[in-house]
Each structure stands twice: as structure tokens, then as C-alpha cells.
Amino acid sequence: MKIAVLGGGNGSFAAAGDFALSGHEVRLWRRDTDQVVAHRAAGSRILVKDHNGRHDTQLALVTADMAEAVSGAELILCPAPAFAQPDIARSLAPHLRDGQVVFLPPATFGSMIFAKAARDAGNHARASFAETGTLPWLTRKHGPFEVAITIRAKRLPVGVFPLDQAPHALEVIGRAFPDAIEPCGDALSGALMNAGPIIHPPLIVMNAGPIEHFEKWDIHKEGTQGAIRRATDALDAERIAVREALGYGAPHFPLAHHYAKEGEIWMYGRGSHDRLTDSGDWRERIVLTEHRYMREDLRLGLSLLVSVAGLAGVDTPLAKAFLAIGSAICGEDFARGGRTLEALGLGNLGKAELQTLLRKGF
């Protein structure tokens, strides 16, 4: 299968390396031409480290040319942070062709940004856009061309835009992630599966003191205490209430299952939290005003949740509180500058009109 991976961060390297390890033809697009030159000089390879050892993988292409990267690709995967999506979407928009599937894992409703960018570019190709609830890999780069994969996702709830094209999109994505894909409806349902805005805002806000005091801090180990977990569960209950008010059914993938020793298996499977903390890769320096946990998950993710909750008629006091505290930490109004339905150009739509758009497309 021909797959294009967009980006040069942890998730993009894990995707490119893991897909190559599985025998797919992988093209990696990176925005930075100097990094592309260096990667090509190193043989266009990625060293993947996982529980089975070290694997030297060969990419078909590393390029800064978007047209070259996505030409003929059946699947285009973009695991870049949500705040990078608008620029990447504009670069990709003119090059999409019929049948191509753009998969954003996860996306904070970024599927709409990519779809609108194609429409605004005058590209009427019958492409589809999908998003899921988490990055399919718990991963960190260990060097310029080396990535460690601690966990591979076991269950990926996927929503598709437009929903009418879901059978084709899910079939293509399923070939890249065998036995992991679970349809969850439209793209907004997929966006409301995103775990990042639920797990990270309580961890960074309620651990702000030690994060700023210590050189490195593992928010998933020392930072995940009972009081914080209770706040996380309450925040997650607001997300699930919004899903239910919009008519989305179970499973809702409550974050509590990520930590549980029994019961329903979460996206990363059983025991993933312990393997994450045991790896040591998440003991890191976090600059609160700059890190993606703040800029992506809190600023964009919670502003989207609060905005959609308003449409659904659901109160979200904790989401609003974390949004307000994040705004105070960064000296910005995240509620106004985040990813609201208004910011996405959808603020004039009622619930029924939005659901029609999500089903049929533009």
C-alpha cells in the first residue's frame, strides 16, 4: 500500500517507520528542506525501537515537495499537532485526488480544516477525511532518525467526513491498521473521542508547580495522583455528556479504562499506562506556555469541547475552568482564540444543519 506521512515529529516518525516495517511503500513529507537533505544523506531510513528490538526501516522517499509525497498515495496520514493543521492543509489541498483518504490521528475536528482547505482551493476531488481519538503509537524520537514505540493502539474509533464515504475510507485506513479500526460515525464523533484534551489539561494545570520547579517532570507518573484522576474523570464525563446529547452512542471510550486493570479495554490496551511510565520517555521538560499539551490539547481541544457543548445544550464547568486557567497562565483568551465552531466557519449552523453537512459534505 502506498502511504504518505506528513510531518517530522514523534508521531510522524513512528508512523513512517512502523508502516515501512509492515511492508508499505512510505513517503515522508517534511516542511524543513534542511532536515530533508540531512535525512536523505542518512539514507532515508528510520530506526524503530520497540519491545521486539531494533529495526532499520527504509522509506521510499523523503521530500519537502507535497505533490511528490502524495501522488498516487491511497492513504495520507498527518499526525502533526492540531495547531500545525491549517498550514499543512493549505499545502495539501491542491494535490488531493479521487479516492484518497486523509487520516488525522487525532485531530480536534481538523478533518473540517483539511476538507475546507480543499474546497477553498477549488479542488473538488472525491477525497475523504477521518480522525480518531488518539495517536496510534505511544512514542518518542530518540534521535534525528530514530524513534521508540512503547505501545501500538489496539482500538481506534474513527469518524469520517463526509460520512457517506465512510465505507471506502474505513477500508483504506483498516489496511494500514489491521483489526484496530472501529467506526464511530461522523467526523465530529471522532473529534469527541480525542483523549488529549481530557488527559493533559488536568495533568499540566494541577501539576503546574512541580512542572515549573523541576528540570524534568513525569506528569503520567508522579503527576497522576488520586485527586487529579478524579478531576479527569469529571472532565471526561462532560465530554461523554456532549456526545450523548448529540446522539452519538457507546462505546464512548472513557479515559478511566486507560488506567483500569479490568473491564473494557481502552484504545492502547491493558497495562499501557504502566508501560508508558516504565519507559521513562515521558520524564521531560515542559514549558507550560509553549508545550503542545497547552497549545493543542487545552487551548484548541477544550475550546472545541466547550463550543460544541453550547450547541448541544450541555454545561461544561470543568472544561471552562481549565480553559480559563490556561488562559491566565499564557496571558491569552483561549475561549476566543481557540478552535470553536465559529472559528471553523460552522458557527451559523444548527444541530440538524451541522449533522447534514457532516453526512453529505460540502
Confidence of residue 51 (pLDDT cuts 50, 70, 90): very high
Residue 17 has pLDDT above 90, yes or no: yes
β 146-152/101-104 pair status: unpaired
The answer for residues whose C-beta is within 8 angstroms of residue 178's C-beta and 6 or more apart is none
Which residues, listed in sequence order, are joined to residue 147 by a DSSP beta bridge?
A: 48, 141
Residue 196 has pLDDT above 90, yes or no: yes
Mean pLDDT, range 320-339, rounded to an integer = 95
8 A C-beta contact, residue 90 and residue 66 = no
Mean pLDDT, range 258-283, rounded to an integer = 86
SS (H, E, C) 137-167: EEEEEEECCEEEEEEECCCEEEEEECHHHHH
Grid cell in block for residue 247: 446522539
Mean pLDDT, range 330-344, rounded to an integer = 94
Mean pLDDT, range 43-61, rounded to an integer = 97
Long-range contacts of 180-184 (CB under 8 A, 24+ apart): 180/136, 180/153, 180/154, 180/155, 180/156, 181/156, 182/155, 182/156, 182/157, 182/158, 182/251, 183/157, 183/158, 183/159, 184/157, 184/158, 184/159, 184/248
pLDDT in the model for residue 53: 95
pLDDT in the model for residue 11: 96
3-class secondary structure, 45:
strand
Which residues, listed in sequence order, are joined to residue 55 by a DSSP beta bridge?
A: 48
Residue 337 has pLDDT above 90, yes or no: no
Asked if the peptide bond before residue 162 counts as cis, ω within 30 degrees of 0, the response is yes
Grid cell in block for residue 241: 455528556
Find the farthest-apart pair of alpha carbons in the chain and give their distance in angstroms, rounded: 55
In the block, residue with C-alpha cell 509525497: 69
pLDDT in tens, 118-151: 999 999 999 999 999 999 999 999 999 999 999 9
Q: Tell me, what amino acid is at 217? A: W
Mean pLDDT, range 209-223, rounded to an integer = 92
Residue 304 has pLDDT above 90, yes or no: yes
Rg, the chain, Cα only: 19
CA distance 66 to 45: 19
pLDDT in the model for residue 273: 84
